Every structure is written in structure tokens, then in C-alpha cells.
Structure 1
Amino acid sequence: MNPPTEPPDQSQFMAALSLESQFHHAFDHLRGVAFFAKDRHLRIIACCANFYRRFGYDQEQDILGKTDHELAPAYLVEHFMADDLEVMRTRQPKLNIVEVFLNDFGIPDWYLTNKMPLFDKEGEIIGLMGTTRPYNSSKDTHHPDRAVEKALRFIQQNYRKNPTVQEVAETTGISLRQLHRKFMTAFRATPKDILQKLRIRAVCDMLLETDNSIGEIAEALHYRDQATLGRAFKDVMGLTPLDYRRNRVG
């Protein structure tokens, strides 16, 4: 089959697509990458499987029409909405946002987010779309605040060893109070909060990927004892480590 010699007409091609044509499903096959689109009321209007499964849904239809308030903890939503509104107000993309987002375990984790405005045929804003992917896979990305960046790097490299927040602050060259304030501004969470979340994520990984006892996991991650791990886990996850393992594995 010989292709025509004239260049393709993109607008004609796009207009010919059926309503069921969903480019965003291509993201279903990119590990770790999630796509979403929202209308001007910030309701989910489309997303890929990696996105809706992150929130515990089995199909895209189940999440359509929901807002961040229905999907994420309140302390995360304020940042999401502020960025969404900025993108629609300025009509400009907002790229390489390093932020806390929910990972596949429902635990806040570091992600790199890009957001872009969506326009109708008349050039008016009708919403936005975006992608998220794990921050750890983006080695060339840095938080704009150097103290926060240093703290994040130290936490990511050492959270399994259970460092103190004072040790985290000492790597940044600023006081613990200043670092606390910077984290609250950037993430609506303290360094201690983020450290705890990452440690609980590590517990989740070990519960699902190993047969280690709770005591062995506590020892490997430098918890004081099994009871301390159990209390910290329930505070974050809302159930005990054993219940989590049974629910996920069995």
C-alpha cells in the first residue's frame, strides 16, 4: 500500500475519530506513569488504568466525575487544586512539579507531575490534563528549595535506618523549625510525617514481598520493637500489619 504524497491533515484525522477513541489508554502500558484529565470544575473526566487503580477502582467509569476531595487526604488536595487553577488561569503548562501523591498502597509518596491546559474548539479553557510518575525515577529533577531538596534526598536514602528529624535538619544547614515550616508550605506535612510515611511504605513492601514476621520486619527497619511498629502502622494505614498482609495476599 503506497501512502499519499500530500501531508496528512491532522484536523481532519482528529475529527474522524470516534468518541470511543481514547489516546490515554496508551498510558496503561507505561509502568508507573498515570494520566488524568479534569473538566473546569476539577472533576475527573478521563484517566488511564494506572490512575484509577491507584485509588482502588476497577474501571475508569467508577472514578469519572470525582474530585480530589473524594480521592485524596485533605492536606494533599489544597496543593493539587492550587496547581490546577493556576494552569487554567494562566493557560500555561506547569511542569516538573515535585509533590506528594498517593502511591499504589495508598501511602503518600514522591511524584513528578506535569499539568497542561485543555482548550475547546473556540480556544476557551475547558479543563486540564496531566501525568504523574514516581519521583525516584527522575534523577535529573530537583525541588526548587535547596534545603527541602537536601532533606528529601537524606530521607529517601536513610528512612529505613529511622533517622531523627534533627538529623534530617542537620543535613540542610537550617534549623529544625525552619525546615518544618518549609515542609508545611511545600507539602502540608512535616519532615516527621514524610519520614513515617516512607517507613510504613517499606513495611508494606516487606509484608507483601517477604514471609518475615512482624518482629523481623521491625528489626530490619530499626523500630524499637514489634509493638511500636504495629502502632505506627495502624496510625497510617488504619489496620494492623497482619490484617494488611491477609487482605492483600489472601
Structure 2
Amino acid sequence: MPAMAAVRPEGVATTLTALYSVDQAVGRQQLLDEREELWEQAMRERLCPMEIRLSREDCGPGKVQSADLADLLLTDWDCPAMDGYLPRNANGELDRDVVVVMAGYGGEERQSFGGTDTLFGQGALLITSGEGVGRGSFSVRRSLRKRTLVLPGPALRAAGSGLKMPKSLALGPDRPLVNIFHTFLDQVWTGLPNMIAAEREATRTAVIALIAGIIRSEGVDVNDQSTLPALRAQLDKSIAERLRQGPIRLEDLAADHCVSTRTIYRAFALTGDTMKSVVRAQRLAAVRQDLLDTNLTIERIAHRWHYYDASHLGREFREVFGLSAGEYRQSYASGSGGSIRSTIDHCALGAS
């Protein structure tokens, strides 16, 4: 039967570890069921709801550890052989406006989601958006070591102009930026427990910028003679400059750049966005920064960024970040979130 025990690794905050032992009176099937429930819990909390089936022949040890950067969920997975299935009723639980980044460190995993089949392994990088998740499954035949990073879509969209969010983007270890990302993620994982709040915030910004750069390096399928990508970059800059001035209108942007409103529509559509979605992402990014870096009241922040009132800001903020503005400030502005936490850590099955 599994039991919970508190452990305190050197230099790391208290973590919870699930310890497994096998009583002779407990059947093997019952123990497998219990382990599958814990893996399903970890999947639900760190990625998305999945039904897990562990291998009946060789169910080896596994571990799941987390070390978040504020609203970026960073998880280290050491998985035994298993199969996972997205439940048919999971659509209501899925957050579509997120981006999931998977970095492979060992073993192989076959994935089939949203009509896309992918073989994911050591040195690979897989970037998917919530929009790309449909009915699907994954399979680990032996073992797998990977890290996943889940980040809100608005955080990535606010990182730069002309960013086309991929439904699924698979990159191999032959790509230089993929190797840079793996190395950087290793350094983040190692250094995070010792970072102060300002260092963690800077690291969060750097991680988002690197992911945005990787996506952008894949390019956007437009004619080389098109002026839309350059216009899109200018529009993002104009929006950032206008955020403090009040409501932003399509007609004003068109006049500023001497183009028609139809051209403005096309420039945003180039990356699957609208003016409204870009303004919202930039405004919420500015609110988030104020929550972390200033002592302004939420009412004052709402006024500063032209929300109707604190209640309006709160609804918008919770919809994207999953917490109220006050809860977010309390959780992350004080410097929390730097420790490494172990949620599953169990030994191999065997009779005592």
C-alpha cells in the first residue's frame, strides 16, 4: 500500500514522496491500480487528464518532480512503461489557451493527438497548443525521461510580434536552438532552488523568449515580398505604446500606419490572432508585471490599464491565469515557487 512521507533534501523545501511497499496479502493487480491512480493524479495536475495503464510485465520505478516559475509549470518525468488515453469526457477539463513544451532526455514515447502522430525521444523538442489536442493517446514501451513546461498562451503571445502558435511542432536534436533549449532547461532546473525572486522572474522571461524564438524561427508561410510580417511587428509596438492611453481602436491603428482596416485584419490573421486578442494579451501581461513589481492596489492597477473596475480585471485575469489577481500576487510576488517538489517517487514492484 502506498504511504505518504515528508522528506527534506539538502537545500530544498519540504517535499512529499509516495513510498511503495508490497504486503503479501495485497494482490499485484490492486497495487498496479493504486500506482495508476497516482500517475493519473500527476498527469491531471501537471499536464491534462489522462487514463493510465501501466505495463503488466515490467512496471519499473518512476518519479515526478515539479519546480514552477510562477505560472509556468515545469515538471520532470521519469516514467516506466505505460499507455495513456485522453478520456472521452476530458474536453470540458482541457485548457485550450495553453502551450505545452516537451523536452526529451531518454527513451521513446509515441504520441497520437489531434490527428498527428509523433515519435518523441532523446534530444527532441515537441511544442503543442491546447487547440491541437483532440482525442488521442501516448505509449511508452520501456521507460522515458522528459521535462514538460506548460505556459499560458497569452504569456507567449505577449513575448513578441508575428508569433504563429503551432498546433504541433516537432523538432529533432540536429536543430541548434533545440540543443540550446535543453541546456538552458538543465541550468534552470539545477539553479531554481537557489534563485531569489528577481532571478526567477528574469528566468521566466528568458524561457518564454527562447520558446517564442524557436517557434518564430520556423517561419510563417507568406510570400517573401509581403509587407504583412513587418506591419505586424509595428502594430504590436503601437499597441504597447497605446496601452496606457485608453481604448485601442482598429481605425486608429490603420490611420497610424497609413493602411486600410482590412490590411490590419490581415496582418493579425497572419498569426491566427485578432487585434482584440493581442491587446488583451499585452494588457494582462502588464497587469501581471504590476502585481509582481509594485505595491499598487488592484483597483489602481485596473484604472492604470483601463479596465472598467477591479471586478472586470479580476474576471479577465482569472480566465487566463486560473487565479484571481490577489491570489496571484500572494502566491508569486513574495518569492514562492522556487523549490523542487516530488509528487511521485516509488520503488519497483516486488513481493516482500
- Normalising by structure 2, report the TM-score: 0.36
Question: More relative contact order in 1 or in 2 (CA 8 Å, sep 6+)?
Answer: 2
Larger gyration radius, structure 1 or structure 2: 2
- Normalising by structure 1, report the TM-score: 0.49
Structure with the bigger percentage of helix: 1
